[in-house]
Structure 1
C-alpha cells in the first residue's frame, strides 16, 4: 500500500462511517459537511478532556470559527460542557458531559453491519467478520481502543 491508496482507504472508511450513523433528527441533510466537523471536534474533545478551543484548532487544523460553532452545537445537544479556564479566565475549557445524551447514546449504539452489507453487496457472515476483525486491529493500533474494539457491540 502506498500513500495514495491509504488516503483513498481512509476516504472509503469515512464514507462507511457516515453510512453507519443513524439518520439525523428533524429530517436534516444526511451528515452535511458541518456535521462531519462536529464529529471531528467531538472526537478530539473525547481524546483531550478539558481542552481549549485554540488547542482543538491546532490539533484539527480547522478554522477557529468552525470549531467554536461545533462546540456550540455539541453544548446545545448536551454532549459537552464548557467552563472558564482557572488559570486564564479569558479561555474556555471544553470536556465531554458526564452523562450521555439520548442522541449520543443512539449514535454510539449503532453498529456497522448494515453499512458493510450495503458497501459489499453481500451479507456473507464470514466476510463481515473478517472485515470487522481487520477494522478492530486498525482501531486498536491507530486509536488505542479497548479489547472490544470499535465493532464490539
Structure 2
C-alpha cells in the first residue's frame, strides 16, 4: 500500500467516524473547536492523566490554541476536569472526569453501522461484518499511542 493510499483511507475512516458520532446538542458551542481535535485531545488525556495543555500540544502536534479549545469543549461536555497545578498555579492539570456524563455515555453507545453502510453503498450483512472485523484488527494494533511512536 502506498503512503498516499493509506492517507486517503485514514481520511475516509475519519469521515465515517465523524458521521457516526451523535450530533452535539443545539446548546453546545460547536464553533470553538472541531470534533477531530477534541477526540485527539481526549485520547491523549486518557493516556496521560494530570497533564497540561502545553504537554498535550507537544505530544499531539496540535497548536496550543486548538488544544485549549478542545479542553474547554471537553470540559463543557463533562468529559474532562481541570485543577490548578500545585507546582505552577497558572497552569491547569487535565484528567478525565470521574463520572460519565450524558454526552460521553451517548458517544460510547453509538455504533458505526449506518455510517459504514452508507459509505460502502450497501447494507449487506456479510460485507459489513467483514469490514467491521478488519477495522477491529486495525484498531487493536494501531492505537493512539502509535502516533507518539512515529514522532520518536
TM-score in same-fold range (> 0.5): yes
* Higher normalized contact order (CA 8 Å, seq sep 6+, divided by chain length): 2
Contact kept? 1:18, 1:31, Cα under 8 Å = no
Contact 1:83–1:93 (Cα < 8 Å) also in 2: yes
* Shift in CA distance, 27/11, structure 1 to aligned 2, threshold 3 Å: farther
1:76 CA displacement: 1.9
Counterpart Cα distance in 2 of 1:19 and 1:54? 30
Unmatched 5+ residue regions in structure 2? Answer: 145-152
Change (3 A) 1:87 1:30: closer
Deviation of the 1:88 alpha carbon: 3.4
Aligned pairs, number: 144
Aligned positions of 1:4-153 closer than 5 A: 4-26=4-26, 34-143=34-143
> What secondary structure sits across from 2:83 in the alignment?
strand
Indicate how the Cα distance of structure 1 residues 47 and 131 shifts in structure 2: closer, same or farther if over 3 A, else same: same
How far the C-alpha of 1:118 sits from its partner, in A, is: 0.4
TM-score if structure 2 supplies the norm length?
A: 0.85
2:142 alignment partner, SS class: helix
- CA deviation vs aligned residue, 1:51-100 (integer Å, no higher than 9, x gap): 11111001111111111121112112211011122333333210000111
TM-score, with structure 1 as normaliser: 0.84
SS at match of 1:82: strand
Root mean square deviation of aligned Cα: 2.3
